[in-house]
């Protein structure tokens, strides 16, 4: 989230008065042991590939030249306990891009024989990512072996943040001892909150003018990543934020009330007369004023903007944040997009609200702890029709937005008329997710066997709805005919990558139709992979026709809730004729029924069949009506997921009569 008048607030907060003579800073005296010895391994971590024996993080705010500066210290020691860990510890990457200045940086290897190899700033190397061109700096360590210990320490000078900080104190490596300290002048008041079992902060006064907020942990086990689960939100972590300054009297610095006012002022920038006329002229050249149905009108606005304006990164061109520059260049930045929609909606008399939230795959929006880290994604909400839109995503349309910004809380900001002026009033609300019916992926399959049973023809109709279409349907607008055909073929080959495609077509290939009409792919294929001769009998691999399915057969002690996808459904039908002179020996194998055992089913896999003379019609229904399931129902979820994979394995036998 970008706030537009925070500079003055930050200056007020970080203004200081020299009431007390300050002693030297704590960070300056921090150092590692002069004569280190190898750390012992906690018995419960003995089988781990690597273990963090010590992790110390120190953030200290001090005054320099009448300004406040943050000094950040990170000190890590890692025990190398496997060959794999040797590879992952032979480089230490340094986050120096965050720093105003590098105060100190050094590293060393405590070898298994007790000898020590040290490196310092002169040994830092620079590399470059081939794809992004981003430069990074690192230590290249030599002599790292199983049984050695890698240690590094760096001190950075940074600008302090008033918007909040997040400290992760758990990861995919077990940690034997960890300490985090936030040391500040006495008059800077911080709010803190610990998550996922992390102990609460303890507060003490280390000197007359300095306050320390501290967390210490011991023997924190690793958290493993799991299939269909969000990871970072479940790590032990601390979020802290500046609340007030006892010297200046500025308070509620990270409140949603302040955020609402700042965001409102940033979005509703008063238009100059010529800008108002330019928006009026733009609307006269469209039919956006002619709709009687509000939802159709809002969608028409979204389609018009996303079809006629480019979306560029923030900061690339300041002109693209203001209406005149946006209309002249046919492009806008993220904040420029909000201002453009606001100007258009105001002209059309459409009431809307700004919504700010977080990506729930990375950070859970906490309505009970107000800070600006969780206000990093802007959406728009139309209250009359209860629909949400993402103004900065060209591949989204009404209610069909990235699911990581739904099924979570957000800050809804509406206009409040105060007679002499208008301001923003914020209220935390819940952003609903779409239903599984809206996100359907359907297949209609008709099979015709060749007389010699060497091959068969497949008529396939695929339908992609909602979020299942979001990655493809709008993309056609950006592809030429050849590339569009390649993507259509790609979608067919998701079912059978080796089939010979005889005929292929696509319908509703436009982002303007996302959510209105499904993307439809029709194809005719020839394949020999589904049938085999077994003596006089024929084996028909009917289960493979629905395409590869996810399998969750491996037994694991699941720790995390089921997340990472969205409510979705799959309806597949398969039609084929039993060949003349044969009978279907095992039709009952087509009947499957797996449901979550509550009275109201939340996840289902069902398949059934009907015989009409020699014609067999198979009907398969699968759906998941939530994006989030608690870990307590993981076995039910696994059963339903595996049911689809089990269907893949069904083979039918045509017996010779």
pLDDT for 346-380, tens place per residue?
999 999 999 999 999 999 999 999 999 999 999 99
Q: What is the mean pLDDT of residues 633-641?
A: 90
Q: What is the mean pLDDT of residues 435-452?
A: 93
Q: Are 410 and 365 in contact (CB under 8 A)?
A: yes
Q: What is the percentage of the chain residues whose pLDDT exceeds 90?
A: 75
Report pLDDT for 8: 45
Residue 567 CA, chain-centre distance (Å), reads 16
Query: Can you spell out the DSSP letters for 436-470?
Result: GGGGEEEEEEEEEE-TTSS-EEEEEEEEE-THHHH
Tell me the domain boundaries of the chain.
6-245, 256-431, 436-656
**Cα torsion through 602, 607, 611, 614, rounded to 10:** 150
For 110-250, where are the alpha helices, taking DSSP H only? none
pLDDT in tens, 59-92: 999 988 888 999 999 999 999 999 999 999 999 8
Architecture of the domain spanning 436-656: Sandwich (2.60)
pLDDT in tens, 556-572: 789 999 997 899 999 99
**Cα torsion through 433, 435, 441, 445, rounded to 10:** 170
Report pLDDT for 589: 96
Report pLDDT for 601: 59
Report pLDDT for 232: 97
Q: Is the pLDDT of residue 58 over 60?
A: yes
Domain 436-656 in the same topology as domain 256-431: no
Q: Is the pLDDT of residue 654 over 60?
A: yes
CA–CA–CA angle 238, 241, 242 (5° rounding)? 150
What sign for the dihedral angle of Cα 458, 532, 650, 450?
positive
The region of weakest confidence among 5-19, 90-104, 328-342, 640-654 is 5-19
Q: Are 616 and 578 in contact (CB under 8 A)?
A: yes
Q: Are 543 and 647 in contact (CB under 8 A)?
A: yes
> Which CATH code of 2.60.40.3140, 1.50.10.20, 3.40.50.2300, 3.30.110.60 fits the domain covering 6-245?
2.60.40.3140
Per CATH, domain 256-431 is 3.40.50? no
Residue 390, number of CB atoms within 10 A of its CB? 22
Q: What is the mean pLDDT of residues 157-177?
A: 94
């Amino acid at each position: 989230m970008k706030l537009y008048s925070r500079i003055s607030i930050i200056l007020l907060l970080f203004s200081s008065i020299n009431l007390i003579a300050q002693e030297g800073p704590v960070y300056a005296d921090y150092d590692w042991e002069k004569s280190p010895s190898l750390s012992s391994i906690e018995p419960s971590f003995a089988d781990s590939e690597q273990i963090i024996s010590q992790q110390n993080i120190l953030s200290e705010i001090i005054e320099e030249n009448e300004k406040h500066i943050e000094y950040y210290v990170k000190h890590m020691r890692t025990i190398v306990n496997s060959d794999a860990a040797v590879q992952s510890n032979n480089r230490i990457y340094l986050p120096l891009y965050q720093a105003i200045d590098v105060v100190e940086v050094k590293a060393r290897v405590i070898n298994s024989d007790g000898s020590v190899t040290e490196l310092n700033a002169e040994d830092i190397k620079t590399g470059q990512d081939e794809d992004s061109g981003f430069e990074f700096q690192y230590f290249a360590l030599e002599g790292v072996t199983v049984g050695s210990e890698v240690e590094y320490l760096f001190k950075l000078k940074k600008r302090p943040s008033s918007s909040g900080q997040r400290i992760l104190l758990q990861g995919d490596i077990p940690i034997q001892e960890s300490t985090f300290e936030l040391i500040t002048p006495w008059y800077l008041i911080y709010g803190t909150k610990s998550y996922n079992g992390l102990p609460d902060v303890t507060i003490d006064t280390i000197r007359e003018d300095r306050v320390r907020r501290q967390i210490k942990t011991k023997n924190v086990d690793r958290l493993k990543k799991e299939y269909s689960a969000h990871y970072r939100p479940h790590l032990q972590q601390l979020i802290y934020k500046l609340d007030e300054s006892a010297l200046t009297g500025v308070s509620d610095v990270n409140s949603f009330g302040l955020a609402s006012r700042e965001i409102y002022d940033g979005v509703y920038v008063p238009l100059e007369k010529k800008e108002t006329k330019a928006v009026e002229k733009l609307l006269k050249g469209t039919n956006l004023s002619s709709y009687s149905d509000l939802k159709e009108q809002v969608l028409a606005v979204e389609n018009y903007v996303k079809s006629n304006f480019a979306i560029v990164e923030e900061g690339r061109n300041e002109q693209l944040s203001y209406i005149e520059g946006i209309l002249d260049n046919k492009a806008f930045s993220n904040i420029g997009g909000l201002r453009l929609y606001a100007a258009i909606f105001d002209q059309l008399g459409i009431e809307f609200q700004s919504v700010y939230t977080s990506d729930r795959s990375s950070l859970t929006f906490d309505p009970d702890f107000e800070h600006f880290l969780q206000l990093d994604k802007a959406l728009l909400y139309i209250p009359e029709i209860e629909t949400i839109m993402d103004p900065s995503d060209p591949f989204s349309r009404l209610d069909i937005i990235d699911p990581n910004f739904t099924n979570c809380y957000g800050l809804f900001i509406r206009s409040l008329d105060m007679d002499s002026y208008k301001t923003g009033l914020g209220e935390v609300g819940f952003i609903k997710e779409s239903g599984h019916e809206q996100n359907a992926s359907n297949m209609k399959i008709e099979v015709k066997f060749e007389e010699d049973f060497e091959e068969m023809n497949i008529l396939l109709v695929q339908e992609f709805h909602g979020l299942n279409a979001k990655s493809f349907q709008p993309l056609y607008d950006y592809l030429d005919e050849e590339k569009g055909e390649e993507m259509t073929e790609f979608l067919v080959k998701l079912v059978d990558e080796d089939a010979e495609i005889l005929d292929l077509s696509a319908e509703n290939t436009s982002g303007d139709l996302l959510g209105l009409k499904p993307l439809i792919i029709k194809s005719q294929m020839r394949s020999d992979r589904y049938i085999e001769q077994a003596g006089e009998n024929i084996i028909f691999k009917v289960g493979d026709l629905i395409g590869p399915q996810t399998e969750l057969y491996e037994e694991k002690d699941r720790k995390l809730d089921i997340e990472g996808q969205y409510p979705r459904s799959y309806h597949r039908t398969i039609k084929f004729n039993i060949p003349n002179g044969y009978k279907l020996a095992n039709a009952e194998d087509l009947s499957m029924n797996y449901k979550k055992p509550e009275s109201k089913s939340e996840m289902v896999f069902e398949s059934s069949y009907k015989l009409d003379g020699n014609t067999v019609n198979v009907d398969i229904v699968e759906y998941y009506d939530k994006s989030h399931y608690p870990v307590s129902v993981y076995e039910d979820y696994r059963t339903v997921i595996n049911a689809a994979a089990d269907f893949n394995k069904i083979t039918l036998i045509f017996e010779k009569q």
